[in-house]
Amino acid sequence: SQQGEEDPQALSIQEGENATMNCSYKTSINNLQWYRQNSGRGLVHLILIRSNEREKHSGRLRVTLDTSKKSSSLLITASRAADTASYFCATRKDSNYQLIWGAGTKLIIKP
């Protein structure tokens, strides 16, 4: 079963606005990762946050992690048309190398 659940399932915003997506998970984790998938393509790794970290930045991306609530958020600032894609969170547990995936958030940036 899916560990991660993204919220919302779909998000449509104007170019230049900020986009926030959330991910909830069920069990303890070693790290949480966010990936982007453009239509018809494979997934691309965006950012990883470890369980002992609370916030991480990479360019226009900001990720937060709240292990007490078992949730994470991905913020994309100053969105661009090229950010239109589906975004997935994935969690990794301590004991194995499997990634557990959420169903994704479909983000549409309107020009």
Interface ranges with another protein (CB under 8 A): 1-2, 4, 31, 33, 35, 40-45, 48, 88, 90, 92, 97-99, 101-104
Smallest separation, CB 70 to another protein (Å): 17
Q: How far is the CB of 43 from another protein (least distance, A)?
A: 5
For residue 81, what is the DSSP state? G
Nearer to another protein, 41 or 69 (CB): 41
> Which of 88, 84, 80, 83 shows the shortest CA–CA distance to 104?
88
Structure tokens at 9: 């399932």
Closer to another protein by CB, 19 or 43: give it.
43
Least CB distance to another protein at residue 85 (A): 13
User: How far does the chain reach from its first CA to its final CA, in angstroms?
Assistant: 37
Taking the CA atoms of residue 82, residue 88, residue 94 and residue 96 in that order, the dihedral angle to the nearest 10 degrees is -100
Structure tokens belonging to residue 68: 């007490």
Cβ nearer to another protein, comparing 70 with 104: 104
User: Shortest distance, CB of residue 53 to another protein, whole angstroms?
Assistant: 13
Please report which helix (H) or strand (E) contains residue 13, including its range: strand 10-14
Nearer to another protein, 70 or 92 (CB): 92
